Structure formats: C-alpha cells, structure tokens
C-alpha cells in the first residue's frame, strides 16, 4: 500500500531483471554513451521528440523516488547540467517523470536533458 496515495505500489517499482537501462549499463543492450564514470551514465534517448534527448542516471538500479533523496542526486544534477550546456548551449530543460500519470515509463531513476530547439511552454 502506498501511504501517500492509499493505492497499490506503482508497477514501475520493478527490478533490474527487466530494466532496459540496466541492460545498456551492463552492455547487454546497445546505447550511445555520452558520459560514464563509476557512479553515473548519460545516454542518448532512443526517442527523438526534440533534437537533444539525453538520459542521465546512476549505474546502479534505483527508483525515481529514491534517486531524488539519494546523496548521488547532487552529482547527477551536476553531470546533467554539464551535458545540457555541452549539447544545448542556447538552453535546455531538465525533467523527471513520476508514476503513470507523469508518464514515467522506466523504473530506473533518471533525469531527462532536453533541448536543441525552442522548447516552448511544454515538452
């Protein structure tokens, strides 16, 4: 039971067994890597709704909620900012989705780096 909403846990609370991000991190699946260290990785999103769509995440499987309260979050935001400035010098957006109504599709906690064009009010 989710204490905040009174509902069942979100289905994305799953494990790394079916995590596409973990598969990319471990080399089981291909991905274009723009940054990697022992703790973090930044990959190109396979989606292309805007010219620059990067995903910044820890190299260990962690939920979106746990990521935001993790000591690693500060380092993740620094790297995401660095990638945003590198790939989108005229401006970018950092974004996270939480739960199905927030359009979260992956259980592995991550930040989106979006840019490369005038984004308008909403993306």
pLDDT tens for each residue of 35-60: 999 999 999 999 889 999 999 999 99
Nearest to 13 by CA among 103, 108, 110, 112: 108
- In this prediction, residue 17 has a pLDDT band, given cuts at 50, 70 and 90, of low
pTM of the model: 0.83
- In this prediction, residue 123 has a pLDDT band, given cuts at 50, 70 and 90, of low
Residue 8 has a pLDDT of: 35
Structure tokens at 52: 């620059």
- CA distance readout (Å), 2 to 6, 13, 68: 5, 11, 18
């Amino acid at each position: 039971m989710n204490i905040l909403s009174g509902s069942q846990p979100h289905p994305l609370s799953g494990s790394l067994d079916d995590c596409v991000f973990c598969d990319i991190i471990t080399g089981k699946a291909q991905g274009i890597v723009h940054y990697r260290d022992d703790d973090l990785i930044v990959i190109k999103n396979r989606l292309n709704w805007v010219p620059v769509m990067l995903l910044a995440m820890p190299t260990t499987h962690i939920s979106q909620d746990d990521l935001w309260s993790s000591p690693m979050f500060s380092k993740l935001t620094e790297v995401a900012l660095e990638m945003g400035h590198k790939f989108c010098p005229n401006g970018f957006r950092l974004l996270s989705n939480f739960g199905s109504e927030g359009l979260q599709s992956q259980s592995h906690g991550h930040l989106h780096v979006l840019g490369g064009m005038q984004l308008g009010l909403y993306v």
